[in-house]
């Protein structure tokens, strides 16, 4: 079956699109998105096994999120966290060495964790749980015969068209949410442009992303407005975020801009191409659709694309959870590991895991 269910941040309605056949359009480059319409499911790296996909909405239905979804615990087998930790440590050392020797100023290291349930999992129910748990995030459940089934609950916009023009964001730096991080408190700090709670390392990590996006937009944007960095809540963590609002120069294709932006240093690194090659060669697994992007493209006149983070792929009783974090040369292995655990918590909460 080929379908996508998605719910935008701060909305109570979700959209369900279905393609009647399983013949999903495969595109060979991001630039090929120019002038196209549909629901996009993009990988981190386009390859034969992880193509850039465009779902055709043969039906579009809008429905209310079911608020009374149950969170009854499900039995899951013990996971192999020791092995994952050891593997992470080995790859961290490889990545870190390249930061110390100056090959990269920032690089994102990610990992994948497996979980196996004792009984069948119901993706639609997991989608509803994610909608209820994360009202401020973009939640999507996408399934195609090529990509398999993915659930995401992401805070990061790659590119969207708003009433005020085009919008993208530089999102990076991570801290666990504190008890005093209410919406009101975060809003007050945003108004005062107060980011004093953030470490120098987090500020630098996010600055790299903001600088990169600003450079990309130089060629495409008119009337560019850039916000001061502020804290943005995302489930159990918060990030530093800078908003970019702009008008697209006449004659510029959206696919070209997407190809330029993706993957930003929020999920890749600096310098971009070298970091991209290093990640694809040295991470211990294939990212597939994790840290790609998804969302409607000129679909019913709407373009809202989000970076596929805080996500998992669902295969029968098994799931694979994905998370990463930006490394700088002063990053510490255990802190980075804990950051990936905190990010994976987003999807683990949807699974309501009870170990057996
Ligand atoms: C890479 C992820 O998240 C990205 C990396 C962040 C970081 O390094 O602090 C923060 C937000 C995202 O831009 C992820 O969630 O897996």
Q: How many domains does the chain have?
A: 1
In a structure prediction context, what are the per-residue pLDDT tens digits for the chain, which is 356 residues long?
999 999 999 999 999 999 999 999 999 999 999 999 999 999 999 999 999 999 999 999 999 999 899 999 999 998 889 999 999 999 999 999 999 999 999 999 999 999 999 999 999 999 999 999 999 999 999 999 999 999 999 999 999 999 999 999 999 999 999 999 999 999 999 999 999 999 999 999 999 999 999 999 999 999 999 999 999 999 999 999 999 999 999 999 999 999 999 999 999 999 999 999 999 999 989 999 999 999 999 997 899 999 999 999 999 999 999 999 999 999 999 999 999 999 999 999 999 999 99
Cβ(238) to ligand 1 under 6 A?
no
Cβ(324) to ligand 1 under 6 A?
yes
Residue holding tokens 């997407």? 258
Q: Which atom of ligand 1 is nearest to the CA of 174?
A: 9
Residue 296: left (phi > 0), alpha (psi -120 to 50), or beta? beta
- Domain of 7, CATH number, reads 3.60.120.10
pLDDT digits (tens, 9 = 90+) for 277-313: 999 999 989 999 999 999 999 997 899 999 999 999 9
Range of the domain at 53: 2-355
Q: Is the ipTM of this complex over 0.90?
A: yes
The pLDDT of residue 88 is: 98
Element (H, E) at 124: helix 123-133
The rounded Å distance from CA 43 to ligand 1 centre is 16
Q: Which tokens belong to 316?
A: 């029968």
SS3 132: helix
b/e sequence 305-323, b meaning 16+ C-beta within 10 Å: bbbbbbbbbbeeeebbbbb
């Amino acid at each position: 079956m080929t379908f996508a269910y998605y719910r935008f941040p701060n909305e109570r309605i979700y959209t369900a699109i279905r393609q009647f056949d399983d013949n999903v359009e495969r595109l060979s480059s991001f630039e090929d998105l120019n002038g196209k319409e549909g629901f996009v499911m993009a990988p981190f790296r386009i390859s034969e096994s992880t193509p850039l996909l465009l779902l055709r909405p043969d039906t579009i239905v809008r429905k209310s999120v079911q608020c009374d979804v149950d969170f009854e615990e499900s039995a899951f087998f013990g996971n192999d966290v020791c092995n994952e930790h050891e593997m992470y440590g080995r790859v961290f050392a490889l990545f870190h060495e390249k930061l110390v020797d100056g090959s990269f100023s920032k690089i994102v290291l990610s990992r994948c964790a497996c979980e196996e349930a004792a009984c069948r999992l119901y993706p639609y129910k997991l989608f509803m749980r994610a909608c209820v748990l994360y009202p401020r995030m973009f939640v999507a459940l996408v399934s195609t015969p090529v990509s398999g089934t993915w659930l995401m609950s992401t805070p990061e916009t790659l590119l969207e068209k708003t009433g005020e023009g085009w919008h993208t964001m530089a999102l990076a730096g991570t801290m666990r949410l504190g008890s005093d991080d209410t919406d009101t408190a975060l809003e007050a700090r945003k108004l005062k442009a107060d980011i004093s709670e953030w470490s120098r390392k987090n500020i630098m990590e996010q600055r790299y992303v903001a600088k990169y996006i600003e450079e990309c937009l130089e060629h495409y944007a008119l009337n560019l407005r850039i916000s001061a960095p502020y804290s943005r809540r995302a489930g159990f963590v918060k990030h530093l975020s800078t908003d970019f609002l702009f008008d697209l120069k006449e004659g510029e294709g959206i696919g070209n801009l997407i190809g330029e932006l993706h993957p930003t240093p929020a999920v890749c690194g600096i310098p971009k191409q070298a970091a991209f090659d290093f990640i694809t060669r040295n991470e211990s697994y294939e990212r597939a659709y994790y840290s790609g992007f998804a969302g409607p493209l000129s679909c019913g006149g709407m373009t809202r694309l989000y970076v596929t983070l805080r996500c998992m792929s669902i295969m029968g009783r098994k799931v694979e959870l994905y998370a990463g974090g930006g490394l700088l040369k002063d990053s510490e292995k255990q802190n980075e590991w804990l950051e990936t655990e905190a990010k994976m918590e987003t999807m683990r909460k949807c699974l309501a895991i009870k170990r057996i």
